[in-house]
C-alpha cells in the first residue's frame, strides 16, 4: 500500500512538472495578450492627460517625466530586486510580477486619470519590471539550448506576435467604445490567467554574487565592452519603439481604433518573418562561420536607417506600409540579438547577476534618452531627435555579434 502510494505521487509529479521555457511559452502568450491590449495606447494615455491640461508641449513633458521616474527607479532598484529574486526564486518572482502587473492594470480602471496616478503607475512598473525580466531572462538562458536558441526565441516571439495580432485591435475597440477603464479591467483578468503555467515549474539553483563591487568590476571589463554598448543601445531603441512610435502614429491618425488596427495588421504580416528568422539563424550559426554575424549586421544597419526615416511618414497608408516593412525586418535583428544575449548569460559566472547588471545599463539609457528629448520638446526637430536616438541605439547593438 505504501509502495502504491509512492508511485501515485511520482506519477502526479511527472505529469504536472514542466520546463521553465515551456511554461514561459504559455505565460508569454497570455501576458503578451494583456500587454498588447494596453502597451501601444499607454503612451497616448499619459500624453493626453498632459495635453488636455496644458497643451502639446506639456503632454510630451508629462510622458517624459513618467519614463524618467519609471526607469530611474529601475536603475536604482535593480540590485536590491535582483537579490529579492535570488531569495524567493524564479518561479515566485514571475508569480509576484504577475500580481504586480495586475495591480498596474487595475489602478487606471478604478481611479480617474491624474498626475498622481501616472506617477503611481511608474512606481509599480519600476518594481515589477526587474522582478519579471530578471527571472524570465535567467530561465531562458539556463534552460535554453544554445544550438536551438534561434528556434526557441522565434517561437516565443511567435506566441507574443499571435497575441499581439488580436490584442491591439481589441484594445482599440474597447477604448473607442467604453474608454480606458474597461480596457484595463480586461487586461487585468488576462494577466492573472498568465500566471497559471508558472505554478508547474520546478525550482532552480541560483548563484548569488550581486553587489556594487562586482558591478563595477564587470562595467570596467574591456572584454565585455560590446555588451555594455549593446545594452545601452537596446534601451534607447526600445524606448523609442515602445513609447514614441505609437504616439507618433496616434497623432497622425487621431483614433485609437485605427491605431490598434494598423498595429494588428503589421504584427500579422511580421509573423512569417519571425518564423523564418529563427530557422535561418540556427542554420547559419550551425555552420560555424560568420554567416549569422553578417545577417545580424545587415539587419541592424537596415533597421537603424528605417528608424531614422520615420518622421517622413505622414499618411495612414504610409504608416501601414512603413510599419509592415519595419516589423517584417525586425525579427532578423531581434531573434539574433536575443540568442546572443542568452548565450552571454549562459557563459556568465552567475546568470542572475549578469542580467541584473544588464538591467542597470539598459535602464540608465532609458533615463538619459528621455532627458535628452526633454531639451527638444517644442522644437521643429523634436521627432527627428526622437527617431535619431532610436537609430543610434540600434546601431550601438552591432557589437552583440561577438557572442556568436
Per-residue pLDDT tens for 300-322?
A: 999 999 999 999 998 888 888 88
Please count the residues of the chain.
Answer: 404
pLDDT at 381 exceeding the cut of 60: yes
Specify the range with the lowest mean pLDDT, choosing from 7-16, 116-125, 389-398. 7-16
Rg value, the chain, Cα: 21
**What superfamily would CATH give domain 19-403?**
MFS general substrate transporter like domains (1.20.1250.20)
Judge whether residue 3 has pLDDT over 60: no
- Residue 333: the pLDDT is 92
Confidence check: pLDDT of 352 > 50: yes
Domain boundaries, the chain: 19-403
Nearest to 176 by CA among 247, 262, 264, 255: 255
Q: How far apart are CA 55 and CA 49, in angstroms?
A: 9
Q: Please report the DSSP string for 169-210 in residue order.
A: HHHHHHHHHH-HHHHHHHHHHHHHHHTGGGGGB---------
Q: Which residue has the higher pLDDT, 225 or 30?
A: 225
HSE-CB at 205 with a 13 A cutoff on CA atoms is 0
Q: What is the mean pLDDT of the chain?
A: 83
- Nine-digit cell at 257? 481604433
pLDDT of residue 361: 97
* pLDDT score of 7: 37
Tell me, what's the pLDDT at 342?
85
Predicted confidence band of residue 1 (pLDDT cuts 50, 70, 90): very low
**CA–CA dist 80, 174 (Å, integer):** 38
Extract the C-alpha cell encoding 198: 508558472
- The pLDDT assigned to 404 comes to 75
User: Strands (DSSP E) along 213-353, which ranges?
Assistant: none
C-alpha cell recorded at residue 267: 504584427
How far apart are the C-alpha atoms of 238 and 258, rounded to whole Å?
23
Summarize pLDDT for 115-138 with one digit per residue, the tens: 999 999 999 999 999 999 998 888
- Summarize pLDDT for 235-261 with one digit per residue, the tens: 999 999 989 998 998 898 888 777 777
Grid cell for residue 344? 552571454
Task: Quote the CA–CA distance of 231 and 363 in Å, as a whole number.
Answer: 9
Instruction: Find the Cα–Cα–Cα–Cα dihedral 178, 26, 265, 307, rounded to 10°.
Output: 110
Amino acid at each position: 500500500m505504501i509502495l502504491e502510494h509512492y508511485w501515485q505521487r511520482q506519477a502526479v509529479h511527472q505529469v504536472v512538472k514542466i520546463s521553465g521555457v515551456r511554461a514561459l511559452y504559455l505565460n508569454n502568450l497570455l501576458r503578451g495578450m494583456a500587454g498588447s491590449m494596453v502597451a501601444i495606447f499607454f503612451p497616448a494615455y499619459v500624453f493626453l492627460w498632459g495635453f488636455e491640461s496644458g497643451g502639446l508641449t506639456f503632454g510630451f513633458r508629462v510622458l517624459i517625466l513618467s519614463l524618467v521616474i519609471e526607469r530611474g527607479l529601475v536603475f536604482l532598484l535593480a540590485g536590491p530586486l535582483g537579490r529579492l529574486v535570488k531569495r524567493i526564486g524564479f518561479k515566485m518572482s514571475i508569480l509576484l510580477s504577475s500580481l504586480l502587473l495586475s495591480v498596474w492594470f487595475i489602478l487606471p480602471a478604478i481611479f480617474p486619470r491624474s498626475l498622481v496616478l501616472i506617477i503611481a503607475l511608474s512606481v509599480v512598473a519600476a518594481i515589477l519590471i526587474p522582478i519579471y525580466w530578471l527571472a524570465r531572462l535567467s530561465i531562458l538562458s539556463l534552460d535554453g539550448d544554445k544550438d536551438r536558441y534561434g528556434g526557441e526565441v522565434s517561437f516565443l516571439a511567435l506566441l507574443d506576435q499571435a497575441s499581439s495580432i488580436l490584442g491591439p485591435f481589441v484594445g482599440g475597440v474597447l477604448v473607442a467604445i467604453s474608454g480606458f477603464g474597461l480596457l484595463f479591467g480586461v487586461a487585468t483578468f488576462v494577466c492573472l490567467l498568465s500566471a497559471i503555467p508558472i505554478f508547474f515549474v520546478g525550482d532552480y539553483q541560483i548563484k548569488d554574487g550581486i553587489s556594487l563591487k562586482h558591478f563595477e568590476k564587470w562595467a570596467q571589463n574591456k572584454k565585455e565592452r560590446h555588451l555594455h554598448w549593446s545594452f545601452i543601445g537596446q534601451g534607447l531603441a526600445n524606448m523609442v519603439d515602445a513609447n514614441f512610435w505609437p504616439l507618433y502614429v496616434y497623432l497622425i491618425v487621431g483614433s485609437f481604433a485605427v491605431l490598434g488596427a494598423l498595429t494588428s495588421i503589421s504584427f500579422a504580416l511580421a509573423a512569417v518573418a519571425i518564423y523564418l528568422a529563427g530557422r535561418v539563424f540556427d542554420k547559419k550559426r550551425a555552420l560555424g562561420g560568420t554567416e549569422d554575424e553578417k545577417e545580424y549586421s545587415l539587419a541592424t544597419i537596415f533597421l537603424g536607417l528605417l528608424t531614422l526615416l520615420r518622421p517622413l511618414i505622414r499618411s495612414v497608408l504610409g504608416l501601414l506600409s512603413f510599419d509592415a516593412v519595419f516589423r517584417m525586418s525586425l525579427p532578423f535583428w531581434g531573434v539574433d540579438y536575443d540568442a546572443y544575449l542568452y548565450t552571454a548569460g549562459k557563459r556568465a559566472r552567475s546568470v542572475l547577476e549578469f542580467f541584473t547588471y544588464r538591467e542597470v545599463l539598459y535602464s540608465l539609457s532609458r533615463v538619459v534618452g528621455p532627458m535628452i528629448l526633454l531639451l527638444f520638446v517644442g522644437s521643429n526637430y523634436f521627432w527627428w531627435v526622437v527617431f535619431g536616438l532610436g537609430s543610434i541605439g540600434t546601431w550601438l547593438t552591432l557589437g552583440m555579434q561577438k557572442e556568436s
